[in-house]
Amino acid sequence: MDLEKVFHMKGGRGETSYSENSSLQKKAADKVNHITVEAIKEMFLESKPMSLCIADLGCSSGPNSLSNIKELVNAIERESRKLFERAPEFRVYLNDLPTNDFNTIFQALPDLYRELKKGRNHGSPSIYIAGYPGTFYGRLFPDKCLHFIYSSNSLHWLSRVPPGIYNEQGDSTNRKSIYISENSPPKVAQAYFEQFKQDFSLFLQSRSDEVVVGGRMVLILLGRNGPNYVDRGTAFLWEILYRSLAILVSKVRC
Amino acid sequence: MDLEKVFHMKGGRGETSYSENSSLQKKAADKVNHITVEAIKEMFLESKPMSLCIADLGCSSGPNSLSNIKELVNAIERESRKLFERAPEFRVYLNDLPTNDFNTIFQALPDLYRELKKGRNHGSPSIYIAGYPGTFYGRLFPDKCLHFIYSSNSLHWLSRVPPGIYNEQGDSTNRKSIYISENSPPKVAQAYFEQFKQDFSLFLQSRSDEVVVGGRMVLILLGRNGPNYVDRGTAFLWEILYRSLAILVSKVRC
């Protein structure tokens, strides 16, 4: 299965859409908001670009991405005001896989632009927002163009099901489970780890070609507290999902 | 009515979508294809940018936009080969209003990238495609970044219904018609002309901030042969549309 072509959060703005069900993701991003803002400020004060380029990798289609962009633009504007300088031009690149619902996010842009204009007597900042569809496990942007790379709640999604979980017959060795559970053999955890290493290396390698000297990167992704790969904190939701899927499959009459 | 928020071609790939009903637009673009290719080649040979930026304004969601991009990239690659040089990096900006169906166009990108790779022994060109939603009657892109601006079958769409067609009571003086017909008073034609002048000036002014020195622009839009604003060639389709709408309205029971 080509994940790049099919994987996406649920689009639109309906009751079951990602847009209406991403407060958990917002909470995680809010928790480290001070780090994010500090990082972009630091970069700005060091290099003072005339045109500042921000990329949000795995933006999805909810309100989180745009509220985050607003926050970053506001922070840089505040710094510019303190220095009695004009704010830079902002280039914002929103990235997700090609099947992401970019339409919903694009339709919210006129309101964002209007909001950014509000309460600004001396004109609003020049801000140009673009969608860049594609996998971040590979090149996405031109050479040396990004000043600030941001990715929240995305990098724990691997590029594919780790091939190491299959035996020679092509069957999963993970005892029908869909995640690293207490019953998974150690080989399964190792296979996920190998896939993550490979994906994350490719991610860093790609970004290193795209980021300018002095650029910054803030990555927010799920982790766990201890060395034990079976972690209640992160595995809890997977277990519910696994059980629901198992019940669904058991009801299929062939 | 805020046209920027509602105006768009019919999305998706269904029977009645723009994607499946835009062969007429393709024909018009094909007719001047040699001019388009010549213009980008000329620009390339004069300035030889390392990173070449192409913008398609009013890209819509059909196959025309991507086939046009492919054509332009191929032309520059051919020129580079002739010079025994490496092709530049391509940045492609696809623009249309925020309600355009960008999802459909983005989902076709993996196939385009695959096609561009085909038959190239020495690696495919680096090409980064982005969607820039917004009205081209205003700024869309950062300062001085575009090398080649292309717009096909889009610029005859005005930014709004010309206010000059309304009388002091706010009623249309165009005798219920939706275009400049034989029955329209001269004031109506004048109102459309004024709106076009205003829109087109804003278009040119905006692009002049965005284009690099030595950049080129190819604009394809509907025109007419003579000075008479009632032109059978362009008015024919509007008349059919007007009559269909009039019949539809007459059937509404209040």
Query: Would you list the DSSP string of A220-246?
Result: E----SSS-S--HHHHHHHHHHHHHHH
Mutate to test the interface with A, among B86, B104, B106, B141 (most CBs of A within 10 A): B106
pLDDT mean over A233-250: 84
How many domains are contained in chain B?
1
SS (H, E, C) chain B: CCHHHHCCCCCCCCCCCCCCCCHHHHHHHHHCHHHHHHHHHHHHHHHCCCEEEEEEECCCCCHHHHHHHHHHHHHHHHHHHHCCCCCCEEEEEEEECCCCCHHHHHHCHHHHHHHHHCCCCCCCCCEEEEEEECCCCCCCCCCCCEEEEEEECCCCCCCCCCHHHECCCCCECCCCCCCCCCCCCHHHHHHHHHHHHHHHHHHHHHHHHHEEEEEEEEEECCCCCCCCCCCHHHHHHHHHHHHHHHHHHHCCCC
Reply yes or no on whether the pLDDT at A31 is more than 90. Answer: no
- In whole angstroms, give the CA distance from residue A121 to residue A48: 23
Tens-place pLDDT, residues A78-124: 999 999 999 999 999 999 999 999 999 999 998 888 888 886 766 67
The shortest CB-CB distance from A102 to any of B103, B126, B142 is to: B103
Tokens representing residue B252 in the block: 């509404």
Nearest to A103 among B103, B134, B139 (CB): B103
Give the residue-averaged pLDDT of B94-123. 87
Predicted local distance difference test score (pLDDT) of residue B123: 67
- Whether B188 maps to a domain, the answer reads no
Residue B47's pLDDT band (cuts 50, 70, 90): very high
Whether A213 maps to a domain, the answer reads yes
Q: Which helix (H) or strand (E) holds B96?
A: strand B89-96
Q: What is the total residue count of chain B?
A: 254
- Domain of A89, CATH number, reads 3.40.50.150
User: Residue A28 sits in which domain range?
Assistant: 3-160+205-250
The answer to which of A84-88, A159-163, B21-25 has the lowest mean pLDDT is B21-25
Query: What is the rounded average pLDDT of the residues A218-224?
Result: 88
A180 and A230 in contact (C-beta within 8 Å)?
A: yes
Q: Would residue A110 count as lying in a domain?
A: yes
Residue A184 counted as domain residue:
no
| Cβ-defined contact of A102 to B99 (cutoff 8 Å) | no
Contact B51 A99 (CB under 8 A): no
- Could you say which DSSP state residue A251 is in? T
Q: Is B215 inside any structural domain?
A: yes
CA-based nearest distance A133→chain B, Å: 6
> What average pLDDT does chain B have?
89
Q: Are A143 and B91 in contact (CB < 8 Å)?
A: no
pLDDT score recorded for residue A155: 93
Nearest to A5 among B110, B128, B129 (CB): B110
Pick the residue with more confidence: B17 or A78? A78
The reply to whether A39 falls in a domain is yes
> Residue B205 has which token pair?
């002014």
Confidence of residue B31 (pLDDT cuts 50, 70, 90): confident
Comparing B241 with B227, which gets the higher pLDDT?
B241
B103/A107 touch (CB, cutoff 8 Å), yes or no: no
Q: What is the ipTM of this complex?
A: 0.88
The pLDDT confidence band at residue A254, using thresholds 50, 70 and 90, is low
Residues in chain A: 254
Q: Cβ of B130 and A134 within 8 Å?
A: no
> B5: which chain A residues are within 8 Å (Cβ-Cβ)?
107, 110
Is A169 within a domain? no
> Residue B219, by phi and psi: left (phi above 0), alpha (psi -120 to 50) or beta?
beta
Considering only CA atoms, which of B224, B234, B91, B95 is closest in space to residue B154? B95
Residue A149's CB is within 10 A of a number of other CB atoms, namely 24
Report pLDDT digits (tens) over B167-224. Answer: 999 888 988 788 888 888 999 999 999 999 999 999 999 999 999 999 999 999 888 7
- Cα B190 from Cα B177, distance rounded (Å): 15
Mean pLDDT of B70-94: 95
Which range is most confident: A21-30, B90-99, B105-114, B120-129?
B90-99
- With cut-offs at 50, 70 and 90, classify the pLDDT of residue A75: very high
Q: Does residue B98 lie in a domain region?
A: yes
Amino acid occupying residue A176: K
Residue A218, CA distances (Å) to A32, B93, B202, B242 in order: 10, 26, 39, 55
Residue of B56, B97, B102 to mutate, testing the A interface (most A Cβ within 10 Å of its Cβ): B102
